[in-house]
Amino acid sequence: MERTTSSAGNVSLIERRSIDYIPDAERHGNLFSQFTLWFGANLQVTAVVVGALAVVLGGDVFWSLIGLLAGQLIGGAVMALHGAQGPRLGLPQMISSRVQFGVYGAIIPLVLVWVMYIGFSAGGTVLAGQAIAELLGVDHTVAILIFSALVILMTGLGYRTIHAMGRVSSIVGTLAFLYLFASLLHGHALASLLANRHFTLATFLLAVSLSASWQIAYGPYVADYSRYLPKSTSVGKTFLAVFGGTVVGAQVSMTFGVLAAALAGGRFSGHEVAFIVGLGATGAIASVLYLTIALGKLTITTLNAYGSVMSVATILTGFGGRREIGSRTRLAFVLLCVAASSGLALTGQHSFLKVFSSFLLFLLVFFTPWSAINLVDYYWVTRERYDVPALFDPNGRYGRWNLTGIAVYAIGVLVQMPFVATGFYTGPWVAALGGVDISWLVGIVVPGLLYYAALRFARSSTPPEQIILPEPVADAE
């Protein structure tokens, strides 16, 4: 990977910036860190469970693995295209939505993003709490509070610490999964598992949809973690670093899930954490596996919390036209977001979160059209020519509300409804497709084409070249 570091020298461990533009003097980092962050973030128990679903719901091993890989490639490409925006814009991901929706209009997807990531954080907190409770021998409530305190610390420290945690998680996760694969396959021939093939289109598409949706869900915050890279960083190399990390990491975890579900059946499904740790055999190795599970969930939950903070800051500053928030305000947002997810985890750890998880999956319907609109606008309509100061001005180039973007977004949500298959809602055309949810595919293609067609005939507000803030933004407090 190409190494890209700024000439700014040492950068503070504690991040002081939030949604404001990152000046050239503060740019730093390297592309390998993008790879390790997303590789480590995907080496986690939830990704294992998602992979297992492909077999639990009727697929065989061979075609489930192929379908999952196909979905990783499709969804990972969408996700990595968002990540490649970071170095060019120097801004968090969702603030760029103000170009397509208007400064106030961008609040519509932002609120939904905040809800979804708070919910994902809550689910991750419950799983991490189980691992920490076993590791430390404490009550689950105490374990959840310990985990939440760690998330507050990591999120409060910010960007550099999150990337460092990604590097640690990638190393620990790699070693743990090597051990888990060896333990799981001991006494079993992988070739015989792969030889059992019974292809059906429905189960294959299910596997594709599971992994593609997993990757697309990262879209609303992936550029949050690439925005400090030097502006000269290659778009193509940024794409490959993010894409490689997220695809390889997720495929490793989901492959383990597929094999575990095929070999263990009912002993795995519904008892994922206990089964994984049970492969450790001895107390010491079991403790290491519990620690690995907790670390994996800490990495992704911190990403969710950090993205939630960026969303709250973007929502509230949109009304006031502010370009930044102060350090104390940022800390308050961290506490607010983690408290919200921890509260959900504490109150719903036994039953509520199962129902809420179905609602969160339903919320993905609202992000695929956002993703399509954002990518089409950035790469094919404006061609990276954003007016950064205007993103913070309700009276500026992008206005308060962009009715074209909002209308296409609404259509993009509605056209998915017949194809949605979740516990919260199931569309009328799902049965004809063998129960497979292909709403994500419809939600990418239809609004993407509509937005491009609509903007071809609209009066362009695109500047001739990218406009950035002329001076670094000072800390507000």
State the fold for domain 27-456: Hydantoin permease (1.10.4160)
Q: How many degrees, rounded to 5, is the angle at CA 325 between CA 319 and CA 330? A: 115
**CA angle 44–45–51, rounded 5-degree value:** 100
Best CA proximity match to 366, nearest among 303, 427, 424, 409 = 409
For the chain, the distance separating the N- and C-terminal CA atoms, rounded to the nearest angstrom, is: 38
Cα distance between residue 415 and residue 177, in whole Å: 40
203 touches 54 (CB < 8 A): yes
Structure tokens at 137: 């021998």
Residue entry with tokens 């801004």:
91
Neighbouring C-beta atoms of residue 352, cutoff 10 Å:
13
Walk along the chain (477 residues) and give the pLDDT tens digit of each residue. Answer: 444 444 444 556 788 888 888 988 889 889 999 999 999 999 998 899 889 889 888 889 999 999 999 999 999 999 999 999 999 999 999 999 999 999 999 999 999 889 888 988 988 898 888 889 988 989 989 999 999 999 999 999 989 999 999 999 999 999 999 999 998 888 788 888 888 788 998 889 989 999 999 999 999 999 999 999 999 999 999 999 999 999 999 999 999 999 998 888 777 766 677 788 888 767 788 888 888 989 999 999 999 999 999 999 899 888 877 777 888 888 999 999 999 999 988 887 666 545 655 676 787 888 899 999 999 999 999 988 999 899 999 998 999 999 999 999 999 999 999 999 887 789 999 988 888 888 999 999 999 999 999 987 776 778 888 888 665 444 444
Best CA proximity match to 378, nearest among 245, 240, 239: 239
Give pTM, 2 decimals.
0.90
* Torsional sign, CA 363, 364, 365, 366: positive
Alpha-carbon separation of residue 313 from 239, 330, 362 (angstroms): 26, 8, 25
